[in-house]
Structure 1
Amino acid sequence: MAAVTSVSFSAISQSSSDKRAFCTVARNLGFEGSRFRSSFSCHYVGVRASNSTSRMVIHCMSTSTDVPPTVADTKLNFLKAYKRPIPSIYNTVLQELIVQQHLMKYKKTYRYDPVFGLGFVTVYDQLMEGYPSDEDREAIFQAYIKALEEDPEQYRTDAKKLEEWARAQTPSSLVDFSSREGEIEGTLKDIAERVASGNFSYSRFFAVGLFRLLELSNASEPTVLEKLCSALNINKRSVDRDLDVYRGLLSKLVQARELLKEYVDREKKKQEERAESQKASETVTKCLGEPQFVGQ
């Protein structure tokens, strides 16, 4: 059984209300965990007896040839790839997401696909909107995906291709992908085939990816989602459930960003007050340190 340990990120303090708002967002993106099992075969290789004791030597060999990394391994990979402190209001969400995505990735049926990539990129960009540095936000994205042993450039490239494709679609052409040829159409056909054969790992990121396709193609009618799910052989009730969660998250994200802005403003004001106080103290010290001459 693999041991799972906790690795904490560097953090700065924040109010409990700020943290609770983002924690709620992270938990609502949760995935069902998966367990990893390895089978072992054992055989006796020798028995030696004496007057006092009997000893049996057993060699055990794992039949698993591809042991997945632990959650702790993935977290450690992230820490190695991005070593700068992350404000804990974001750090908490990232920790939750990386654990959930780790568990999902190492399911036997998992295989990356562009719709999943679009869903993750959409969620990540919305969660990290307002991060103090655009450069750091992208560096964190790179470190996060690489920690999962995947290609961050593929995520970004696939998300961009799907977004451009969806903008050029109408509600009818979106659901009629199976009758046309093209790179994205081929991707969607492959997903439909894998779902039909039972070789597909559904997730909320995939549902968000579908939602983004509908959004960009201006497909607001509920029947369009039903037809798209049918064309992809996806259970619509699962998608409806996860999209309800996602829509709720969007409103929570607005609240969380407002809390974050208030937090940043408070910290900025405190820094300015400390700077003014320090400047005043230095002025007083300077004045007291100069010799005072009284008329002679």
Structure 2
Amino acid sequence: MGKSKLLAVLMTASVLLAACGGGNGSGPNAATDGAASAASAPGGASAPQASAQTACRPDGNFTYSGSAPQVAANNGQLAVVVVPTLPAAYSKNRYMTVSNAPASSQVQQTGGAFTTLASSAAATDCLGLAKGAVTEIQGVGSDVAIGRWNQAMDTDGNTYTFAQGVHYAVGTPLSLSATSGALACTQLIADTVASDDSAAIGTLGTATATLDLATRSLNNLSLPINLAGTQYALTNSQSPLNGISTTGQLSVQSVVVGHDATQPLVAVGYSATLPNKEGIGGVVVLQCQ
């Protein structure tokens, strides 16, 4: 959970419960290749391993806000970014940044909401929505969908309020062919800026960045945030594509998705700790061209 040039805010009213369940997903120090995680699991990425994730697929009582098309897999794989906005003691390192995760390990509902997210086929590498709401469901064609679990309980046993939650972006993995030049990236869709202590929610202004095709990095990322009527600026000078960058109190997670390598999309997850120790987070999808 990471850094910026910001300040911070607000009232507090925190709600969350911890219970049993779950191991780590793909955290800031974990490998970003879902296939590597699957290979280390007993039986590799076989169908029996996917069935071992049934604990992350409860028949919950879900509600939905928004909609998105079904996301298209690429060779049976999906790219996944997950950002939990919960105090660290409860988030159980469920940050996922995976450019190739098994599509069979994710669950997308008919209306577009994802209710199970996984970084590999291993039984410990998944997180499910046990009950509650998936809000701000949005998509860009069949290329990517985003949303946020809130006022909910997950399969780790955490409950969270409207101002907390688990942010996700799931998209079609895309390989970049060009090896030189740069593309300008601008925000297409984003979800709410959530608060780990339930203080308040905010909005993301127009995020921008530059995709450097030579270094395969996302450069000069700007994330303007309005939180309780106060403006803050989160910036990151360089972060690897399909990877994680932590600079001070700001962490940036990214995966390249879409169907057109000349106009790729980049799904970005971000999390930051403000000077008052309040944590915030969200997801945003950038169009690069």
State the TM-score, normalizing by the size of structure 1.
Answer: 0.24
Structure number with the higher strand fraction is: 2
For the pair shown, which has the larger CA radius of gyration, 1 or 2?
1
State the TM-score, normalizing by the size of structure 2.
Answer: 0.24
